[in-house]
Structure 1
Amino acid sequence: MRSLLSFVVLSLGLLALSEPIVSPYSVHERRTHVPSGWTLSRRHDASATLPLRFALTQRNIDDIETFLMEVSHPKSENYGKHWSAGDVLKTFAPSDETIDAVRSWLLESGIEDERISVTPNKGWIEVSATLEEAERLLQTEYNVYSHTTGKEHVACDSYQLPAHITPHVDFVTPTVHFDAKISRRSGTEPARTIGQPGSSGPKTTGRFDGVIASDLSTCNEYITLDCLRTLYSLDYTPVATDKNSYGIGNVTVEYTPEAYLQTDINMFAMNFSEGLYGVAPYMVSIDGGYAQTEYTGFDYNGESDLDLQYGMGLVTPAQQVTLYQVGDMVEGASFNNFLDALDGSYCTFEGGDDYTQDAEYPDPYGGGYEGPEACGTATPTYVISTSYSYNEADLTPFYTARQCAEYAKLGLMGVTVLYSSGDYGVAGNDALCLNANGTQTTDGIMFNPSFPGTCPYITSVGATMIAPNSTVYEPETACEEVIYSGGGFSNYFAMPDYQKEAVEYYLATYPPDYPADIWNSTGMSRAFPDISANGANYVVAVDGEFELVYGTSCSSPVSGAIFTMINDARLAAGKSTIGFINPTIYSTDFSGLFNDITTGDNPGCGTDGFNATPGWDPVTGLGTPNFTKLVAAWLALD
């Protein structure tokens, strides 16, 4: 996996994982600091037995980007020839060579054959080892760490593997990963709380009492469906609705307790889209998810109401929208729980979910959903829009790399995955910035990129706005009202080839005037966002009244609706879906097809952030969609 997503060597020094090679061993993983809430307690008991688990490298995983480019780059002979789910599973299963290599090494190291087992999915080799054996095998020392909840966990600071084994093993547990299964009730796991009140989501300035003109003259104050259609030249009625469906939502769909209210959709419809009255999305329940009505208010309904009212409104009532509702009211869910439902192989890929981050089903603690975990139970729609994100630093490089590979698999199958880029400019969620020791605080000074926005295999969406006193017919500016468009440079992922020309031009022509130690200035890292769309002053019906809503939470579903209509046009013409769009939109054939945004910036971390400039920039990406131009260009492709 490390070669799949080459970690950028940071001038920041945040994730310096390199170590001198100690022949024949070399450092495989190293932790830079003990996670919050944990403290070193004592040396592990010498008489203890450790259940070592070796996560085996997936076959062909180093070539996943090449495979994805073959079906996604407009100049490729295989453009649009997307894979089946079976093709994906068959291609990436661990090889017999990998299994044999690790097993042989263990046997040669004195581990008896009866203590070595391969899991049914061939993703793991498990060994019951004494402490002495484990420390000898991995050239490390194990300690016991205590958590504020009273839980204890066995871990080491780093570990090593022989050079001939390194290519066959992604990681080993227990080692540097703090994967002790802490109860959801402790509230310490960031990934599974994405749908909880207070999570990063859209912002509101409260109740809307204004008057919306019928001639678009108030679009600089109040955004409606008509404003967006005019801004982005979206004059289209879908015709291939039986072949097309748009998966929409916050954080990879909707995450309980976030839920929409049908009465709010009806209220919105009566004012802006009469055909939507009484129309509900097609709901797919995942891990006990349902549209709860026990709790209401903007924190519970704002995201879902926004996504569905504008997502359904822009694709018109003729196009059915699929809603994935993920997680129960007790355990909640994470992006990985959703991805498990789309791809059964992901449930066990690279060792499966991390229950310090991902919800566990059936609920092991009682009171939650006790049915079977959703694993390959949902069919992915052609476009999936997500309006939440984490800070990249919230998660380990391994966790993000594993998830990023799954987005590449979805792209191989013809799915377009969009994520909002964040609402705090160059700072992370809740305006947190990085410190040199890897921690995040509001008084930090180092730029804090988002995830999955920095994954090279998704399309990251920033936010724009109509400038004050401007009209809907004039160029937009970067959003600087209530929120700032998230953007910048990854600390985890290398720059993909498809964006090198655009990003290198930006860095050479408009070099950011900041010290190299507060942002990833190497020029080698994944840059985001890729595109943008309006993210200010949306009129949304929430709990029976209209509110003004702001955020890249607005931008992502609007972009998703536009790409859904492009899919419709291609499907009607007998062509494939557009799938992973980044290689296409960065290509010379699509140059100038987005509305370039050249004004505004994205402040954060005590700075003005980056500037919007001609061409790609780390505030608004390539710009906002122009449907008329884009659909014509995509229809011209095979």
Structure 2
Amino acid sequence: MRCSLTALVALSLAVVSLAEPTLSPYNVHEKRSAIPIGWSHTRRHESAATLPLRIALKQSNIESIDEYLYDVSHPESANYGKHWTAGEISRKFSPSEESISTVRDWLVENGLASERIRVSSTKGWINVDVTVEEAERLMNTEYNVYTHVSGQEHVACEAYHLPEHISTHVDFVLPSINFDAKLKGRSSQLEPARAIGQPGVGITPKTAGTISQIVTELEQCDEYITPVCLRALYGLAYEPVATEKNSFGIVEYTPQAYLQSDLQMFAMNYSTDLLGLEPIMVSIDGGYAQTEYQGFEYNGESDLDLQYGMSLVTGKQNVTLYQTGDMVEGASFNNFLDAIDGSYCTFEGGDDYTQDAQYPDPYGGGYEGPEDCGTVTPAYVISTSYGYNEADLTPFYTARQCAEYAKLGLMGVTVLYSSGDDGVAGNGNYCLNPDGTQSSTGMIFNPSFPGTCPYVTSVGATMVKPNATVTQAQPEMACMEVIYSGGGFSNYFAMPSYQKTAVDYYLQNYPPNYPPNIWNSTGMSRAFPDISANGANYVVAVDGQFELVYGTSCSSPVSGAIFTMINDARLAAGKGPIGFINPTIYSAGFAGAFNDITEGSNPGCGTEGYNATAGWDPVTGLGTPNFPKLLEYWLALP
């Protein structure tokens, strides 16, 4: 199913008559639960005003994406590891001629002359300029003008409807329920998607301050995490041998940027094989390792990701830094995905420029080059330590992006995202209110995204228990210092089949004792995280001094490095990359491949959150990597 979001309903399409319009009942296609903070309804839009209506068409075969992905990702499949090419993906999912003709006929039947209707060159959009009156009649809606506190106006509707026989061919329509957040200040909290790199936006690492001593002893790993601690915790004793065939990518969003001087300071003390080395930087949409702004809020994330990601794969393995977005417009995850998969630029109508950065910069002053579209080769493993709250984005926006992660899995790419640092609350400790808005006083659990997408691997955080040593049998618990591991149950995505057995066991044996109106208790939604790794007390060189850093921002690149080393062993053996790992790691054949975490919880929203338990749990997932077992099990697969 398409991102496991909804089941498709088979519909019989009426034969189009040249004499009279096709009749079928209208259904709500999209609806907004609340007006975004800072906006207010001003008036009805003038009926004679012109709207540039853009209709995004659904893609062919997208309802079968689960089937295709599991066919190459499930360890019991005869096609395990037989990944697709980008060309095969593009051909499989392009919009059908039936969709184009059905929507075009509907517009003509409703009085729009055929010469007004334009199909984009990619066949992903149907564009038509209409009056507000025509748009309202077409979609059984009302267009209003909304005013922001800054004085800026925007046109939108509260909901819109489409005929049943049309809705199966349409993904979304613009303008509609989304708000154009391109406010003059550009740093407004109302632009969550493309402001992901701005300080304080989304998932960000936290610091407990600077440290003065150089720590190298394993006995101190409960207070200071360094690469030697992580190697001991997860059994990562491995030297890569297939480095020319392998690849590991770490994604950063400008203005977040690493400092080469910090990387070398870290290398001198904790990873001497990195001395003189730097990541291979790939600029996407004007991205560069800026130095104009410095401080933990600008350098902490990138310094952390690269120092630990590069250390654990050793200096023998190149690491690619995907630096995304310029200093003016910034970037969203969609901008990055456009660059690594050219088919995504137009997939399901292309990006939503009310959310995603547009290049060349339409305002001037930013990156003036063309948008990067299919210009970058994706690495076999891609780690991203950023994330939104699921509620920041519409279901259609998240579903479109989620489908892209499935496509990357089909191509053999492992995609990792941090699960969040605020337990069952969203970023900034925001929880949901009954009307769908978010606030610091909300009481409803607020899951993260993309961690809730069934086609990414969501990574939570653990910590070494106080006074424990890494040589003990069970030295770790859920992270409960400075941050809490993000986890819970999606409000947008259905439970994927690969995790049903594990999650059902958790819900039956450790049912959360919370009323059903504050969490998704249906037992049918995507649960996260999938796995976890240490996320506390990392020693990181930031702006010329060592700081103690916390967050699932630590956990994702560490996990990515471990999976990159597994890919190295498989490539050296003449096998392919592990690709989308979730069906494999949840399978019975991988039982015991992760260190089960059974202590701790993830508080938030005025509760203690969920508990870490035996087996999978919504705090630490399946547990932390056991590299020797994972290596053994994956080398046994085709």
Both proteins in one fold, TM over 0.5: yes
Where does residue 17 of structure 1 map in the other structure?
Answer: none
Q: Is the 8 A contact 2:4 2:496 kept in 1?
A: no
Q: Is the 8 A contact 2:405 2:456 kept in 1?
A: yes
Distance 1:184 1:587, change over 3 A: farther
Where does residue 212 of structure 1 map in the other structure?
Answer: 215
Where does residue 584 of structure 1 map in the other structure?
Answer: 584
Equivalent residues in 2 for 1:123-272, closer than 5 Å: 123-179=124-180, 181-183=182-184, 185=186, 187=188, 188-199=190-201, 200-210=203-213, 212-214=215-217, 216-248=218-250, 253-272=251-270
Q: How many residues align?
A: 620
* Aligned-pair CA distance for 1:266: 1.1
Q: Is the 8 A contact 2:4 2:495 kept in 1?
A: no
2-side partners of 1:31 and 1:510: how far apart?
A: 34
Q: TM-score, normalised by structure 2?
A: 0.95
* Aligned-pair CA distance for 1:539: 0.7
1-side partners of 2:127 and 2:265: how far apart?
A: 56
* Aligned-pair CA distance for 1:173: 1.8
2-side partners of 1:583 and 1:436: how far apart?
A: 34
Where does residue 16 of structure 1 map in the other structure?
Answer: none
Distance 1:398 1:425, change over 3 A: same
Q: TM-score, normalised by structure 1?
A: 0.95
Equivalent residues in 2 for 1:320-331, closer than 5 Å: 320-331=318-329
* Aligned-pair CA distance for 1:186: 5.3
Greater CA deviation, 365-374 or 148-157?
A: 148-157
Where does residue 568 of structure 2 map in the other structure?
Answer: 568
Does residue 539 of the first structure (1) align with residue 542 of the second (2)?
A: no
Q: Deviations over 1:300-324 (max 9, x none)?
A: 1111111111100000000011111
Q: Is the 8 A contact 2:43 2:144 kept in 1?
A: yes
Q: Deviations over 1:236-269 (max 9, x none)?
A: 0001000011101xxxx11111111111111111
Where does residue 26 of structure 1 map in the other structure?
Answer: 27
2-side partners of 1:289 and 1:79: how far apart?
A: 36
Residue aligned with 1:165, SS: helix
Equivalent residues in 2 for 1:302-313, closer than 5 Å: 302-313=300-311
Q: Is the 8 A contact 1:48 1:131 kept in 2?
A: yes
Q: Is the 8 A contact 1:489 1:526 kept in 2?
A: yes
2-side partners of 1:340 and 1:278: how far apart?
A: 32
* Aligned-pair CA distance for 1:349: 1.6
Equivalent residues in 2 for 1:422-461, closer than 5 Å: 422-461=420-459
Greater CA deviation, 370-379 or 47-56?
A: 47-56
Q: Is the 8 A contact 1:7 1:494 kept in 2?
A: no
* Aligned-pair CA distance for 1:566: 0.3
* Aligned-pair CA distance for 1:573: 0.6
Does residue 630 of the first structure (1) align with residue 630 of the second (2)?
A: yes
Residue aligned with 1:164, SS: helix
Residue type of the alignment partner of 1:227: C
1-side partners of 2:162 and 2:320: how far apart?
A: 46
* Aligned-pair CA distance for 1:329: 1.2
Distance 1:184 1:355, change over 3 A: farther
Where does residue 512 of structure 1 map in the other structure?
Answer: 512
Residue type of the alignment partner of 1:205: A
Does residue 40 of the first structure (1) align with residue 41 of the second (2)?
A: yes
Q: Deviations over 1:323-347 (max 9, x none)?
A: 1111111111111111111112212
2-side partners of 1:203 and 1:135: how far apart?
A: 48
Distance 1:184 1:351, change over 3 A: farther
Q: Is the 8 A contact 1:80 1:576 kept in 2?
A: yes
Residue type of the alignment partner of 2:71: E
Q: Is the 8 A contact 1:530 1:622 kept in 2?
A: yes
Where does residue 525 of structure 1 map in the other structure?
Answer: 525
2-side partners of 1:320 and 1:102: how far apart?
A: 48
Residue type of the alignment partner of 1:170: D
Q: Is the 8 A contact 1:283 1:324 kept in 2?
A: yes
Q: Deviations over 1:589-636 (max 9, x none)?
A: 001110000011001111110000000000000000001000110010
* Aligned-pair CA distance for 1:477: 0.4
2-side partners of 1:29 and 1:301: how far apart?
A: 39
The structure 2 residue matched to 1:333, chosen from 319, 323, 331, is 331
Distance 1:63 1:277, change over 3 A: same
Equivalent residues in 2 for 1:341-420, closer than 5 Å: 341-420=339-418
Does residue 466 of the first structure (1) align with residue 468 of the second (2)?
A: no
1-side partners of 2:58 and 2:511: how far apart?
A: 39
Residue aligned with 2:613, SS: coil
2-side partners of 1:184 and 1:284: how far apart?
A: 28
Residue type of the alignment partner of 2:69: L
1-side partners of 2:571 and 2:185: how far apart?
A: 43
Q: Is the 8 A contact 1:7 1:491 kept in 2?
A: no
Q: Deviations over 1:428-481 (max 9, x none)?
A: 111111110111111111111000010000000000011001110231100011
Where does residue 70 of structure 1 map in the other structure?
Answer: 71
Distance 1:158 1:3, change over 3 A: farther
Q: Deviations over 1:146-205 (max 9, x none)?
A: 222322222222222111111111111222222464446252311112211223311111
Q: Deviations over 1:122-155 (max 9, x none)?
A: 0111222233322221122222222223222222
Residue type of the alignment partner of 1:228: L
* Aligned-pair CA distance for 1:355: 2.4
* Aligned-pair CA distance for 1:7: 8.8
Residue type of the alignment partner of 1:371: G
2-side partners of 1:274 and 1:180: how far apart?
A: 46
Equivalent residues in 2 for 1:48-67, closer than 5 Å: 48-67=49-68
Residue type of the alignment partner of 2:244: D
Distance 1:3 1:310, change over 3 A: closer
Greater CA deviation, 626-635 or 346-355?
A: 346-355
1-side partners of 2:3 and 2:432: how far apart?
A: 26
Q: Is the 8 A contact 2:461 2:535 kept in 1?
A: yes
Where does residue 93 of structure 2 map in the other structure?
Answer: 92
Q: Is the 8 A contact 1:7 1:492 kept in 2?
A: no
Equivalent residues in 2 for 1:104-119, closer than 5 Å: 104-119=105-120
1-side partners of 2:394 and 2:576: how far apart?
A: 35
Greater CA deviation, 126-135 or 594-603?
A: 126-135
1-side partners of 2:365 and 2:156: how far apart?
A: 31
Does residue 559 of the first structure (1) align with residue 559 of the second (2)?
A: yes
Q: Is the 8 A contact 2:424 2:447 kept in 1?
A: yes
Residue aligned with 1:311, SS: helix
Residue type of the alignment partner of 2:127: E
Runs of 4+ in 1 over 6 A off after TM superposition: none
1-side partners of 2:569 and 2:61: how far apart?
A: 34
Q: Is the 8 A contact 1:182 1:355 kept in 2?
A: no
* Aligned-pair CA distance for 1:352: 1.9
* Aligned-pair CA distance for 1:46: 2.0
Residue type of the alignment partner of 1:70: D
Residue type of the alignment partner of 1:30: K
2-side partners of 1:222 and 1:515: how far apart?
A: 39
Q: Deviations over 1:560-603 (max 9, x none)?
A: 00000000000111111000000000000001110000011001
1-side partners of 2:160 and 2:216: how far apart?
A: 65
1-side partners of 2:43 and 2:306: how far apart?
A: 52
Residue type of the alignment partner of 1:34: I
Q: Is the 8 A contact 1:184 1:331 kept in 2?
A: no
Greater CA deviation, 192-201 or 461-470?
A: 192-201
Q: Deviations over 1:502-535 (max 9, x none)?
A: 0000000000001111101010100000000000
Where does residue 14 of structure 2 map in the other structure?
Answer: none
Residue type of the alignment partner of 1:444: G
